[in-house]
Structure 1
Amino acid sequence: MSVFGNSNSLPISLVISLSQTLKGLSWDRIQGDHSGLVSSRGILYLLIFQQLGQMVRWSWGFHILLAKKEQYEEYRDECAEEGRYRDDSISEGVLIPGLDGSTDSSDDETYVPAGRTPVAGTSGASPADSDDEADIPKKRSTTINGDGNDAHNGPFVMPTNGLNDILSFPRMRDLDELETSKGVRGFLTRSKSTLNKAFTQAKEKTRRLCRRAYLKLPQRLRLLLEKTIRFVSEFMNPPLWAMLLSIVVASIPSLQGLFFEKGSFIKNSVTDAITQSGSVAVPLILVVLGANLANNTKDSEIKDSEESQIGTRLLIASLISRMVLPTLIMAPILAVIAKYIPISILDDPIFIVVCFLLTGAPSALQLAQICQINEVYEGVMSRILFQSYVVWILPSTLVLVMLALETLEWAGV
């Protein structure tokens, strides 16, 4: 709760509204600065903080703070210990047959096969399953010679009548080709089959070449590559891959022109689609917030035993650690930095306001979703969101804005 705050929906709405209402937020380094530019710069600062928070959340937080209980070694050891005690208690009352030294088994319980597996033209039922045992002829004893033949019945001969019909199944691919060999549909099917075959062969050849090249490498280099690939596959997830790709696009000017040049195909299709989707992100986040707050009005069943024991203490500790302690610690530090450290961006008033708003922002909404996925502290999380976004939000925002304005006046920004 103390590490991950809301840097999307609520701060963006506050920055947009404050840029339109508060006076004196214009930056003297920009000629003709107005509320629109102030708002855009504030959103840009929030975007930078949001990306940094996402990197921390989906790397360190996702693998340590937000991991499921089953991923912790202590929890697995505890479950294994509970299972061992349960198995011991069960074994004290009930003994497993055959393992307790008892010899109550009789010959009737021994499985006897019903005879030779029937072939074509014979019945699928076993003689042992028939009700009329009087009509069943007795089986002749079978003795196998050294050459593999039956001593009484002679050499075994595989029946041929009807057996080939059973053993030879039709090729489904040939039937499909016969059914779709005519017309445009058949041409498309054959083309698709040819392309799939060519792709499979190319993939197999590439795999073999990579395998040969990999085996030619020194053993130490191979071990290093294996460890690196294993670490990347375990550590990376889709949000981190997306952030990595965004950094690559932002660092290469040619890719920037490809995605953001006006009139280009990528700009009119991919970039505009992403922009339109991002435009509804804040309203959707507010809808999710409303849904989470609605859960607070319901009597939800407590699934976690720890929640009933430490739920109230966890609520108080989360609110204090998220909305009180960061402000008390960061506010003096921000004021001293704005006063004495000569950094150009610290002269922008909206940057100071953004920093103060983020210090006392409520908890991130993704924490509620993660609690629902992990099925832990769901009731406490809904109470935390209600207290943060309904009860504490107004006084906290007023205090943060007043501190930001006092800092701007004291630092002479």
Structure 2
Amino acid sequence: MIRFLLAALAVLTISLPARAIEIQEVTSPGGIKAWLVEEHSIPFTALEIRFKGGASLDRDGKRGAIHLMAGLIEEGTGELDSTAFAAAREALAASYDFDVYDDSFTISAQFLTENQPEALALLRSAVVEPRFDQPSIDRVRGQVVSIIKSDEKDPSAIARRAFTKQAFGDHPYGSPKEGTIESLNALTRDDIVAAHQDVFARDRLFVGAVGDITAEQLGVVLDDLLGDLPATGAPLPQKAEIGLTGAQTVVPFDVPQSTAIFGHEGIDRHDPDFFPAYVMNQVLGAGGFGSRLMEEVREKRGLTYGVSSFLVPKDHGYLIMGQVASSNDRIAEAIDVIRDEWAKMAADGVTEEELADAKKYLTGAYPLRFDGNSTIAGILVGMQMDDLPIDYVNTRNDKVNAVTLDDIKRVAARLLKPDALQFVVVGQPEGFESTN
């Protein structure tokens, strides 16, 4: 019942930015910084903690170690084994989630005000003193192996893995964060401990908090929870060299429908042209049924149920990508249409009506992202990791509205390279062959 209450509180919280919000920058007595939005109407707080680096910090020959470590954090700490830890968390009605991505390791915590000291003490123990028992390592490793085996039968996963390997080569981005069955089976407990030491450090730490907690209270929490972490972690990876040259790859797979992943080099999140590129891509392929790709590939020709494009601004390498699926006998036509639309937008940009529709959607949808304390805490951390100003949530829509037709035409000509579009197709495509 208490857990149900916590889940309900997670959604029955502040909704922002229906009004301008006040984000405070908090510095703990020990020097740890965080962003805070206070909301005391409900006795509930969400805490988002992220460490820059994520799965890209895997050591050479140890691919999958950080992902496996993430699955083991809740498997016991101190005197508590995995069962006892789960029981303690349930008794406190606390929620902890640990996730790893290419560029970050995230901890999402939710707790009631009345249980805050105990919930945070349990979380601290899990983060600072995980047990990494061998039976838990073997069990969680088996779960990850099952995921890898499942992906080996999934055309979308096969295409995505082949494409990222072509794009990023030997850079950590070029291989799945789960590792391979071989690399996973070779991991030892010492490798998991080393992964933990590499990730959890104060020099790559970002924190967001939203809810029933004051700045003074949060400062104490930060030091108690994170103050004992090492000052520095493993070095971040170097910038990735993008290896996409416009090649075509077919991965034979016995299915009636082919799946294609496509893309080329993209744009840095910190580039001054990022917002025009973002709005441009809304028109090109991110806007669902309002996008050009959906209109031309699905609506006019019936070649697919869905097609999309998206910006991928990773910390150390940037892509613009897309995905489409079509029957084996029509995938080649779908790819031709995608190339044509890429070229048309590169040459001409967007229309005044398309720009107005994109702005209306992007500015109207933005407030809907702020649908609860946990989501807002994540947005606060994301802003910090992207080096955005603290007032960004209140100025972001102004940046969208400031984009002009000339901006998009300039950026489209700069960014979109139809001849450089690289395609990986998984299936039995007719009229489409590998060129590499």
Q: Tell me the TM-score normalised to structure 1 length.
A: 0.19
Normalized per residue, which structure has more strand?
Answer: 2
Normalized per residue, which structure has more helix?
Answer: 1
Radius of gyration: which is bigger? 1
Higher relative contact order (CA 8 A, sep 6+): 1
